Amino acid sequence: MATVGERWRGNVERLREPADLARWYREVGLLDDPPAVSGAGLRAARSLREATHRVAQAVIAGRPPAAVDEAVVNAAAAFPPLVPVLRAGTSTLTLPAAHPQRAALSTVARDAVDLFSGTATDRIRVCAGAECGLVFVDTSRPGRRRWCSSEACGGRVRAAAYRRRLATGDPGGIT
C-alpha cells in the first residue's frame, strides 16, 4: 500500500514502470531475484494494491470490505504462490517455473488475506501524522501506537508540540 505516496494530497505513484515493481520485490525482501515484470503484471499489482488499501480502510472503519475488493484479493491469491526453499538452514522464496509474476502477487495477496482475516485486524491503523496516511499494524504491547514510525511521524508531532510549548512559555518542565 505504501507504493503510493501522499494519498490524501498528491497520489504519488511509486510503481511507475515494470522495473519499479521488480525493484520493490527485492527491497521488501520478497525475492532476491524477481521476475521480469510486464505492463500487465504492473497493472495487476496496482489493482491488488488499491483493493488491499480499500479493504484496510473498511477494516479500520469497522465495516465489511466491498465484495469487489475481496474478489480482487481472492483472485490474486488463487494462483500458486512463491515456492519456499530451504538453503543452508534458511527459508527463501523462489519463483515457480510457471507464472512467476502471478506467484509473486499471489504471495502478497495471501499475506493480505491472512492479515484481514486474522487476529491482528483490530491492530490495523492509519498513521495519525498530519502529512502521512500510511496503513500499519500496531505491534506494540498496549496497542496504542499512533504513528507509522515513532522516529519520523511521531518525532515531527512531538517536535511541533514542543515548539508550541516554547512559544507559549511552557517548555514542559525543562529548565
The structural domains of the chain, with segments of one domain joined by +, span: 4-118, 121-175
Residue 79: what pLDDT?
96
Torsion (CA) 17, 57, 133, 22 in degrees, nearest 10: -20
Sign, Cα dihedral of 168, 173, 174, 175: positive
Q: Facing residues of 85 across strands?
A: 92
| Dihedrals phi, psi of 5, to nearest 5 degrees | -95, 150
What is the C-alpha to C-alpha distance for residues 112 and 55, in angstroms, rounded to an integer? 9
Residue 174: what pLDDT?
54
User: Which residues in the chain come in under a pLDDT of 70?
Assistant: 171-175
B/e letters for 5-17, b = 16+ CB within 10 Å, e = fewer, are: eebeeeeeeebee
Residue 173: what pLDDT?
54
Residue 175: what pLDDT?
46
CB proximity list for 46: less than 8 A, separation 6 or greater:
15
Q: Report pTM.
A: 0.85
- Asked if residues 38 and 46 have their Cβ atoms less than 8 Å apart, the reply is no
Residue 172: what pLDDT?
65
